[in-house]
């Protein structure tokens, strides 16, 4: 995210010159970016459907990445050398983003963000199947804790399972699959190439799907700034997380990302009058706990491997 475009975080590394306060400042920028994207998405949804939002946002992304590639002279490495991986990744990611934009309009923001945080746990369970990674005891425990958190947030049987909740859960699963694709692709192509073909393909997907009803809405003068904000915040969020990971290990950085949840709850309360129940808070806490336990276990395993070497 993972907002809708968030890549999987790098593996935790030991950082003797860690600067946690600097990392915290960068992560506050990421939190602000992700919450701004959610607010902007709700605002433009009155005028544009999710396909149109993604189409116009991706078109804006093409302009940004093209400018970066030109300034850095990186066009030589932008060729699509693995079309199957690019196509598979972007079909899944496009579907997940549409589900996410649908969810933020129909479900309280805190519930959407809580379920979104299950994406790393789904990726953890899928990685043995698609990446050949070992499913350790710590990973199973993290996933189990997160699953209990999902039950508290969704409350199946006690509260109606709405299309919005299903969409939020589906988005998290889609983001997890995107993480898996991204991890495989970083071994064979550059991040800039991944982002370039993501924006190109999702612009095509967006306009094609938006035009199925024979009409594609243009952003109005009032909506255009919000569409640009959605595109810009996706890029600034990635940039802030990357800068934070440069100065501190993932075990320090990623817990700050969890602040998106209370931030979303506060925004939902102040702007939309969304009241958050105790069970949602408890469930979100368990989901975040499961994520953090996995990060700590991965950090310990990496340190052990480094010491053995």
Q: Do the domain assignments include residue 6?
A: no
Q: Do the domain assignments include residue 10?
A: no
Q: Do the domain assignments include residue 1?
A: no
Q: What is the pLDDT of residues 239-269, one digit of tens each?
A: 788 788 778 776 677 677 778 888 888 899 8
Go through the chain and tell me how many residues it has: 309
Span 278-299, average pLDDT: 84
Give dist(CA 70, CA 196) in Å, integer: 12
Q: What is the pLDDT of residue 11?
A: 43
Q: Do the domain assignments include residue 170?
A: yes
Q: CB burial class (10 A; 0-12, 13-18, 19+) of residue 51?
A: buried
Q: What is the pLDDT of residue 251?
A: 64
Give dist(CA 133, CA 301) in Å, integer: 13
Long-range pairs for 44-48 at CB < 8 Å and ≥24 separation?
44/219, 44/223, 44/226, 44/227, 44/230, 45/101, 45/105, 47/217, 47/219, 47/220, 47/223, 48/217, 48/219, 48/223, 48/227
Span 109-120, average pLDDT: 87
Q: Which domain holds residue 25?
A: 20-308
Residues 6+ apart with CB under 8 A from 304: none
Q: Do the domain assignments include residue 15?
A: no
Domain tally, the chain? 1
Q: Do the domain assignments include residue 7?
A: no
Q: In this predicted model, which residue has the larger pLDDT, 206 or 11?
A: 206
Q: Do the domain assignments include residue 236?
A: yes
Q: Do the domain assignments include residue 11?
A: no
Give dist(CA 18, CA 71) in Å, integer: 31
pLDDT category of residue 18 using cuts at 50, 70 and 90: low
């Amino acid at each position: 995210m993972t907002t809708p475009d968030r890549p999987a975080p790098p593996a935790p590394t030991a950082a003797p010159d860690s600067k946690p306060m600097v990392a915290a400042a960068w992560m506050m920028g990421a939190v602000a970016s992700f919450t701004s994207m959610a607010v902007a998405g709700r605002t433009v949804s009155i005028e544009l459907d999710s396909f149109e939002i993604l189409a116009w946002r991706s078109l804006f992304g093409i302009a940004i990445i093209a400018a970066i590639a030109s300034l850095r002279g990186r066009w030589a490495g932008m060729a699509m050398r693995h079309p199957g991986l690019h196509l598979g990744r972007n079909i899944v990611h496009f579907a997940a983003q549409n589900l996410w934009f649908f969810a933020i309009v129909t479900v309280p923001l805190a519930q959407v963000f809580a379920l979104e945080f299950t994406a790393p746990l789904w990726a953890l369970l899928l990685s043995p199947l698609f990446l050949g990674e070992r499913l350790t005891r710590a990973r199973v425990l993290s996933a189990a804790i997160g699953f209990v958190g999902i039950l508290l947030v969704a409350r199946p049987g006690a509260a109606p399972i709405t299309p919005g909740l299903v969409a939020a859960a589906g988005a998290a699963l889609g983001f997890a699959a995107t993480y898996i694709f991204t991890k495989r692709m970083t071994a064979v192509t550059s991040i800039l190439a991944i982002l370039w073909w993501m924006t190109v393909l999702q612009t095509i997907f967006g306009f094609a799907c938006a035009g199925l009803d024979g009409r594609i809405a243009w952003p109005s003068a009032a909506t255009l700034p919000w569409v640009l904000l959605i595109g810009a915040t996706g890029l600034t969020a990635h940039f802030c997380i990357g800068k934070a990971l440069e100065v501190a290990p993932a075990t320090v950085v990623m817990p700050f990302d969890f602040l998106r949840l209370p931030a979303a709850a506060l925004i939902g309360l102040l702007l939309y009058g969304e009241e958050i129940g105790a069970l949602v808070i408890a469930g979100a806490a368990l989901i975040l706990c499961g994520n953090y336990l996995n990060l700590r276990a991965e950090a310990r395993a990496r340190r052990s491997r480094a010491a053995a070497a």
